[in-house]
């Protein structure tokens, strides 16, 4: 059977290669410390799990949910107002998704025709370019460089590309580079999008994993943002509910309606029990969110300080669940370094180049293991590597 052309362009071969290498290391009876995947290892707070237990007993919760429950729309709108000061009309400025990934993957089908250009961060979370390729659009990479604080340089985008582009992906706090964006950057984005008639899709999945008192902002806080864009949010990272599959698109009502139309042809919504869990998460005590961020911050400190003491230095991220680490001196390939690290120590990190060409020279380390595992990783690295 002949696969479609688009299959060739999807999913970086590096992810599958790392997986094969991981299995080989495991076959040598080495326990792999997986700092590769971005999946939270913690559980939701007890009040969220209890709400889902109660929801399981309701007979009405087993039909096709089709759309989001009104109380979930309201809960998310209330949360946005409280957290960001952003007013959302719960009726048409909130769309419930089967995890934000659902919307990230499908929005391009509503706005991109074959050959259309989309502006995509490089490096970037893989779904941004995959969604454009699935819609047969063309990816125009926006390099995220250390010298620009990992923000795209909008002035470097040629005028003809900007004018032809239909969609721009953004993601702050960022995966994989762990950078953050401030209000003035988002203001520039709104101006740029208005001038060039571009739909901005901002992914704010990591807004609540922020450290040292820093509070990431929503793109929608900037005046005019709702006219040009939407934002994707998720309960996955904030409340450690990644397996539940519930997220949101919020903002421009017309864009959300288009995304809803695409989705209505594909899926039947988020399991009602999960929706009730999300309501409990958004409306209940937020102590678990503070505790979650505290734990990730502590992991960040253990890892970054520990590696620095071994001679491998990297900046401490202000947000996200990742450390974006320049590969140690003496290495030229992020892939080679990640393989050597895995094979010598059983510590799995992702080569930056898996997220795009500009990711070369870095590895992404996910803070998804408890402190003891991170300390074990440090010990193994100490015993096998000398950094200078
Ligand atoms: C930047 C970013 N956005 C979205 C997602 C997917 O989140 P969800 O679980 O809501 O689909 C991830 C998951 O790793 C992510 O890193």
| Joined tokens for residue 193 | 């999008």
Summarize pLDDT for 295-307 with one digit per residue, the tens: 999 999 999 999 9
pLDDT at 253: 98
pLDDT at 40: 85
- Which residues neighbour 55 within 8 Å (Cβ) at sequence distance 6 or greater? 61, 272, 273, 276, 277
pLDDT at 214: 98
Number of Cβ within 10 Å of residue 1's Cβ equals 2
pLDDT at 187: 98
175 lines ligand 1 (CB under 6 A): yes
Please state, in angstroms and rounded to a whole number, the distance separating the CA atoms of residues 177 and 325: 9
SS3 289: helix
Q: At what angle do helices 46-56 and 272-283 cross, to 10 degrees?
A: 150
pLDDT at 104: 98
Mutate to test the pocket of ligand 1, among 172, 216, 237 (most ligand atoms within 8 A of CB): 237
234 lines ligand 1 (CB under 6 A): yes
Mutate to test the pocket of ligand 1, among 175, 241, 296, 320 (most ligand atoms within 8 A of CB): 175
pLDDT at 44: 97
Prediction pTM value: 0.97
Which residue's CA is minimally distant from atom 1 of ligand 1?
A: 175
Cα–ligand 1 centroid distance for 234 (angstroms): 7
H or E element, residue 229? strand 229-234
Cα–ligand 1 centroid distance for 366 (angstroms): 13
Cα–ligand 1 centroid distance for 37 (angstroms): 11
Q: For residue 267, is it left (φ>0), alpha (ψ between -120 and 50) or beta?
A: beta
Q: Which atom of ligand 1 is nearest to the CA of 234?
A: 10
10-residue mean pLDDT profile of the chain (388 residues): values are 86 83 95 91 95 98 96 98 98 98 98 98 96 96 98 98 98 98 98 98 98 98 98 97 98 98 97 98 98 97 98 97 96 95 97 96 97 98 93
Q: Which atom of ligand 1 is nearest to the CA of 175?
A: 1
121 lines ligand 1 (CB under 6 A): no
Cα–ligand 1 centroid distance for 101 (angstroms): 6
Q: What domains are there in the chain, each with its CATH number?
A: 5-43+288-384 (3.90.1150.10), 46-283 (3.40.640.10)
129 lines ligand 1 (CB under 6 A): no
- Beta-sheet strands, E only, within 270-337: 322-326
pLDDT at 388: 78
Summarize pLDDT for 287-296 with one digit per residue, the tens: 999 999 999 9
pLDDT at 192: 98
């Amino acid at each position: 059977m002949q696969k479609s052309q688009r299959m060739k362009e999807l999913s970086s071969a590096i992810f599958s290669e790392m997986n094969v290498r991981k299995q080989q290391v495991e076959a040598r009876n080495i326990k792999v410390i997986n700092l590769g995947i971005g999946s939270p290892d913690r559980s939701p707070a007890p009040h969220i799990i209890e709400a889902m237990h109660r929801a399981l007993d309701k007979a009405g919760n087993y039909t096709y949910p089709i759309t989001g429950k009104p109380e979930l729309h309201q809960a998310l709108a209330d949360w946005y107002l409280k957290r960001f000061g952003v007013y959302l009309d719960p009726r048409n400025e909130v769309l419930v998704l089967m995890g934000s990934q659902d919307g990230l993957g499908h929005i391009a089908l509503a706005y991109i025709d074959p050959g259309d250009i989309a502006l995509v961060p490089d490096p970037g979370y893989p779904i941004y370019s995959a969604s454009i390729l699935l819609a047969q659009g063309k990816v125009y990479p926006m390099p995220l460089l250390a010298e620009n604080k990992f923000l795209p340089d909008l002035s470097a985008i040629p005028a003809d590309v900007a004018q032809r582009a239909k969609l721009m992906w953004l993601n702050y706090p960022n995966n994989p580079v762990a950078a953050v964006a401030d209000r003035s950057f988002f203001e520039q984005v709104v101006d740029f999008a208005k001038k060039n008639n571009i739909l901005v899709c901002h992914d704010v999945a990591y807004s609540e994993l922020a450290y040292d008192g820093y509070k990431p902002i929503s793109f929608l806080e900037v005046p005019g943002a709702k006219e040009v864009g939407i934002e994707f949010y998720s309960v996955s990272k904030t409340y450690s509910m990644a397996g539940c599959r519930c997220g949101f698109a919020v903002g421009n009502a017309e864009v959300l309606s288009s995304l809803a139309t695409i989705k209505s042809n594909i899926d039947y919504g988020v399991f009602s029990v999960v929706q009730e869990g999300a309501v409990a998460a958004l409306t209940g005590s937020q102590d678990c969110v503070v505790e979650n961020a505290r734990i990730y911050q502590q992991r960040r400190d253990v890892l970054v300080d520990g590696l620095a003491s071994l001679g491998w230095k990297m900046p401490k991220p202000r947000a996200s669940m990742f450390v974006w680490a320049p590969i140690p001196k003496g290495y030229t390939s992020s892939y080679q370094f990640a393989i050597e690290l895995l094979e010598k120590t059983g510590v799995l990190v992702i080569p930056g180049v898996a997220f795009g060409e500009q990711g070369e020279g870095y590895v992404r380390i996910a803070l998804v293991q408890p402190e003891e595992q991170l300390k074990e990783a440090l010990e193994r690295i100490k015993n096998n590597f000398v950094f200078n």
